[in-house]
Amino acid sequence: MKVRDLVRDTVISCYVDEPVECAVAKMYAANVGSVVVLERDGRLAGIVTERDIVRFLAQEVDLKTPLGQVARKQVITASPDEAVVSAAVKMIENNIRHMPVVEGGRVIGVISIRDVLRALLAAEAFP
């Protein structure tokens, strides 16, 4: 099974010049745990997760702060043609729960550890 089999069509994102509150609002509205942060030309610039939001609140980061200043810029990504098991290993080794899927320099989706676990369990149950 490949990562592309898990990718959802919709990418929840904000731009680097948008405020932290954009990420909070979009995560809440879409009921997701992360938002991809993009450059205005669509390239991946970073990621913001629920954990990051908690950290921002604890550090009293102003919610008007541009995401480009606070998003994690060293983002672990997956390729759509990568094996799901390989993506799972990356997620475990890097202690991450959300991973953007990038193809041709563009984010085509995000997978979560929950998506990966479901896929692996389904493959195990129905080989």
How high is the pLDDT of residue 123? 77
How far is Cα 87 from Cα 32, in angstroms, rounded to an integer?
A: 19
DSSP H or E segment with residue 24: helix 20-30
What confidence category does residue 127 fall into, taking pLDDT thresholds of 50, 70 and 90?
Answer: low
Q: What is the pLDDT of residues 83-115, one digit of tens each?
A: 999 999 999 999 999 999 999 989 999 999 998
Rounded distance, CA 94 to CA 78, Å?
Answer: 13
pLDDT surpasses 90 at 10:
no
What's the chain's average pLDDT? 93
> Which residues constitute the domain of residue 38?
3-125
Residue 126 scores a pLDDT above 70: no
Rounded to the nearest 5°, which phi and psi values hold at 18? Answer: -85, 155
Task: Write down the pLDDT at residue 63.
Answer: 94
Please report the pLDDT score of residue 121 as a whole number: 86
What is the total count of domains within the chain?
A: 1
96: domain CATH number?
3.10.580.10
- Residues 26-31 have a mean pLDDT of 96
CA angle 58, 77, 13 (to 5 degrees): 60
| SS3 of residue 88 by DSSP | helix
pLDDT band at 46 (very low <50, low <70, confident <90, very high): very high
